[in-house]
Each structure stands twice: as structure tokens, then as C-alpha cells.
Chain A
Amino acid sequence: MNKKTISKLFIFFVAATLCAVRAYGYAEAEQPIQTVVQPAVAIEKLPSSRETGSINPETGTHDGLSSVFSIQTNGNDEGYDFVVTSKIMTEGGEVSGYGNSGSILFGNTLSMPTSAAIEDAKMGGNNNKNVIAYPVTAAITNPMSVEFQNNYGIHGDCYVVKVNGGTEGTLTHTVSQNPISGTYNIGQDEAGEYKAVVTFSAVSK
């Protein structure tokens, strides 16, 4: 059988398959069709997030920040790490911006803090020029859950979300208004813009 003949036969076969419904009256055959639906995740930041605010210079209190994310997934906790991480810029580059107890650190963008100042603020110390730490409250729609964990695998310090079989949820990451004692000092912390970046990720294992 030459190539030309094989091609003709193949076309005939396809045509016959497509015409199978019309031939239904003449014969019946079952052809199980299976498709594997792979896990998928969609995470979005919602417009209800409040991402800018002002600090009262006398107290260090700010007027409210929150990041709100939606998550839709058919994946599970065995297949994914669902994590919220935070980054802050230092003189030496970007580092994790969560403190030891889940607080979040904001750094001056013009006069970036040193690594030593970051480490001090993570522990709630009082020698942390141009870094301010605030407590964080994280909440997510049931049955999903979220809690802070130190050194969570490759993700480091982060908030870990468990979907617990849920497929849709809203995660709210709220930055408390009062600074952690010692981390705001009007003398140490220069006027300017302070920034933190929060990322909610689903990372397949």
C-alpha cells in the first residue's frame, strides 16, 4: 500500500467518523470518550482593595489598608501551595516583608532600610530606621482557611491558605492601623513613601 492510498483511506475514515450520527439507524457502537481536567487556579486582586493611606506622624497610625483577592480553583491542597508572601526593598535588594509573628513591614522607598533594620523590625525591636511594622489580620471564605507560618518550604515566611475542598473564596489581608510598638519612631522614620508588596500565589507542587 503506497502513501497516497494510506492518505485516502485516512480521509475516508475521518469522514466516516463524522458521519456516524447519520449512520446511527443502521448500527450502534459505544465509544467511551475521556478527557482529563487538569487542576487550574485563577487568582485576582479585587477593586475593593485599599492600597494607599497616610501615616499620622505623631503616632505612626495609618488610616487603613487591605488587599482583597478572589480565588477560584478546582485544585487541592495536595497539588498546590496557596501562599501569600510579602516583599520589601532594602539597601541590599528585595527581602521577605513579614515579621516573625505575621506582621508586615513597610519600608521607606527613598531612604531604603538596611537589612539589620529589617531584621530588628521583624522581631519588634526599636532600632529599625525607615521600617514600620503593622500587625496583619488574614481571613478567607469557608471552608478555606489561612494562617501564618514561618519558613514554609521554599516560600519562607508567609500566610498559607488551605482550600479544604473549596472552589471559590475571597481572601482579605488587612493591615492593622497601629504600628507594632518600637517599630515606629518619629525621629528614626523619615518622611516619605513607605511600601510593601503582597502577593497571593498558587504554586503547583
Chain B
Amino acid sequence: MSAEDGSPLARRPRDRSAPRRSGQFEYPTYDYVTPAEQRAGRIGRHPVVVVGGGLAGLTAATDLGVRGVPCVLLDDNNTVSAGSRSIGQAKRSLEIWDRLGCGDRMLAMGRSWSKGNILRGDKLLFAFGLSPEGERKFPAFLTLPQYYIETFLAQRCAAFPQIELRWLNRVVGASQTDDHVRLDIETPDGVYGIEADWVIAADGVRSTMRRCLDVPFEGRGFVDRFVIADVKVSTSFPPQRMFWFEPRFIDSRLALLHQQPEGIWRVDWQLNPEEDAEEAADPEKARARLAKVFGPEVDFEIQEISVYTFDVRRVPAFRQGRVMFAGDAAHQLSPFGGGRGGNSGVQDIDNLVWKLALVLDGKAPDTLLDSYNAERVPVADENMALSYRSAEFITPTSAPSAALRDAVLRLAPAVPFARSFINTGRLSVAATLRASPLVTPDADEWAGPLAPGDAPADGPVRTATGDADWLVRNLTGGFTLMLHVERETEMAEAVGTALAALADDPVPVATLILVSAQGERPGDATLADETGQLRRLYDLTPGACVLFRPDQHIAARWRAFDIEAVRGAVRRACGESVT
């Protein structure tokens, strides 16, 4: 998709004529407040410190807020990320932010696209649809710039008194013992120290935490350079993703167009080898170049332009003692990887925070945090492999590789199978954790697309009060057991008693009764699958139940309810060894 972070070679801020804004968006300025312990001249101790206030860091702070865990977030700036960053928000990220209470605002503000077109010059090679499997609340992708997401999350954090966002707090030193992490932080008032039980290091590609703790960042760099520009344009085009090989409107081997909210176009193109990066990002030269792209009839204004290369790297282990690396600090991906950079960072956090909350609460052993590594490293590796592949297709590194790609591009217009080889980034989909040790393998026979370890499938439901709603929105952050019965009246009394007992367990399990249609006096926790979509996707027969983890992934499922089986699966998902 579009550039996440990359390694900017040259970056110019928005036009001087339009300072501190992108389209209608005004960059917020967050107040710096002298931290309490700095003022008091003592060392504070906090259960969780989040380093970095980008997509991953702010998602972490909000998730900790929702879960009632106190947290201090440190950011070296006092506003949100300036333009030219992540714009493609995947369905799974949107579901996560919906759980945190921000989904509706994002949906209202973003632009969804459901079709992508890949062209060579004027010729259409391949048009693809992002057709969902059934109905669901969020589209496969929503175009909404990172600065909106971060603003919404920062606003949401204000609802939680135990969450403290500290702006203009830059980490300059970090070390750890078995017992805690020590951070040295520079503010406008000087340097102060704090201690943390746990640190989430979400401080980006050039992570200070990585450097201070001497954690390697392994992988390789790519030499191709790309220009990424956010341009306010006086016209609009249909909400489709446009990718050109050998575009006719710009002197480049490829170009990519997305339409963002408020009339801003994201334009990416590859810099030719002989071009100078500084020159390409120079506002006047860029303006002259884009004037030839847009022509005299179209008004445009450059909001942000940068030239970057990218690396594909990761840290060897995401858990380093008491420090959990997440997002770009943990793994860097190709900007053409299908929107995997920002979105995989959000999924890192979704995977990590509930585990941290249980460990802090004394309800799970701290080895549960090793599963963060076990579950997210394979996902990062898959994303890296996909990054390598799409990068090689988009910018072949040898003559034979270019020849193979040329074969695909020549065949594609007329030969259907060849289109499947066109790889301009395999779009981010929710990671599956099927091989995770936390997942209870099936003991029964199941059909359908889902398996334990998968992210939830969404679908429409009717609530007890008769409102239209969605399933995933009702998986609210703890363990949830979804039990299917045709009618609520058909549920055995003993089952009801057992479900009530589960809700009182040390790690409580909430219950959601999925009926085929609402009865006359439905219970509060009853949802009706009127369309049958959920029964089909989850392969539900009467009496079947599905256990969702606090991050909504499927932990286990059974054809029939058994309270001890549910308790065993919860213990397993909480990292207790299974006998």
C-alpha cells in the first residue's frame, strides 16, 4: 500500500502556505506538562510505560486504558505523525480500534475502496474486488491517514484517568534488571528517570529502545527509491486503487494513486536511478514536476512530499526481558507490502496488551508474555517474505527477474491465470495463530473457513432490544463464550447455571447466546443470527460453542458445551501448561 515509514532520504514538510494542516486536518498541539516525578525530584515506578506515540503506541495506551491498567506513554513530539505515512487501515485494525471505542469515528471519516485496478500504460491488466465473505461492519480497507487515527486514539485516552500521555518526553537511556526497566527521559525541564515493570517499545523504525538495549535489527535494505506525495487536488476520481506499471502521465516505471478524505490524493512513484533525492523532494521542483502530471486545468497543492528507500528487518525476539517490542520498532516492512506495516503493529498490540494485563493482575504467569513472541514473530516473518516478493515483482533486481515479470505483464490482459502472478502487494488480512501453543486443537469435526487461532469472522446480528448490530463488536475484551441454540428457551437450565459459574471464575468468561431468531422475551446477552451467516461461517450446530480470547481470536470450539473443557482452554490460553 503506501509508505509507512521507510527510511526517508529527503523529507519536506507541508507547503509553507498551509502550515500545520493537511486538507481540513489541523495538527493538534499537545500540552507539555512537567512530569510529577521530575518536579518532585524522585524516581517514579509505573506498571507499564509505552515508548512512542505512533499508531502502535497510542493503540497500546488506549487498550491499557480500556483494560483498566495504569500506563505512562512517552512521546518525543507534541503532535501526531505528519502526513505521508500509513493510510490503508485494514479491517482487522478497524475491528481492534472499534473494541477500543474509536471504530465508528474512523468509519465515518475514512474512504473505503472495494476495487483495485492494475494497468500497464493505458491497458488494464487486472481488476480485483475486495468482496467480503458476507456482510460485516468494516470494509477490507479504509483509506484514512495515520494522523486522524492517532488523533482519535489520543482523544480516547483522555477518557481514562490512569493513562498519562507525556508529550516532549524523549527517551535517552534504557537498561533493565530482572525486576524492572529503568528509563532516562529528556524533557524541556532536563533529564529525569523512571522505572517500569514492563515497557512496550513502540518507538518506530529508528527505535531508541532498540539502540539502548543493543538489540539487533536484522534483514536487508532495498536500493530503489520512491517518492510519496500527499497532494490536495481540485478534482476527484472514483474510489478505486489505481496502480500503473509504466504510467503515461509521469516519467517513472510505476505509480500508485489512492484517494484520501478531503480531496487529498496519495501519489507514489518510483524515482529513476539518475534522479537526485534531494532535488525530487524540493518543493519548487516537485511542484514543477507535478504540474506536468496534473496539467493546467487542475489546481493542486502539495501537502507533504518525501523520498524514501525501505528496509525489511526485524528484531530477533519481540520480548527482550521486560521490554516488548512492537510495530516498526520490532519489524520494518516494504511500503508496497499491502498495508502490512501499520496494520501489523496494531495487531502486535492487540496480541500483547491483554496478556500484559493478566500478568500484572497476577492471573497468568509471566511466561504468557513469551507467547507474544511465539505468536507474532511468525506473522512478521510471513509479512517480511511477502514484502520481499512484492518488492521483487515491483522493482526486479536482475535481468532474468525483469524478464519473468515481463512475461506475466504481457500475458495478463488476455490470459486469466497470469493475473494471479501480478504482485503489487498482497493486501493485509488478519493473521492466523493456528500453530500457537495457546490454542486448543479441535477434538470434534468442523467445516467452514475458520479454525482455532483465527481472528473472528464478523456478521450481522439482531440484539435483544431489536437493534441491528455486529458480532465482533460484542466480543468486548475478556474471554467470551459464544453458545448457539435455535431458541433461547431450548437452553438447558444446567447450562445456564454453568455459564453463570464461568462468569465468576478468576479469569471470567462472558457468555453470548447466539440464537437463530429472537424469542419473545430475549435475555440481554442474546444475539440473533437472522441471516444465518454466522452459523455458516462458524459451522454452528445447536449446542456448539466457540471460545474467543480477549483479543477476539478463536481459542477453542466444541460441538457441545462442557464447563471443564472451557476452563481448560482458558487456562491454556493464559499460558498455563496443559497436562
Q: Do A and B truly interact?
A: no
Q: Which residues of A contact B (CB under 8 A)?
A: none
Q: Which residues of B contact A (CB under 8 A)?
A: none
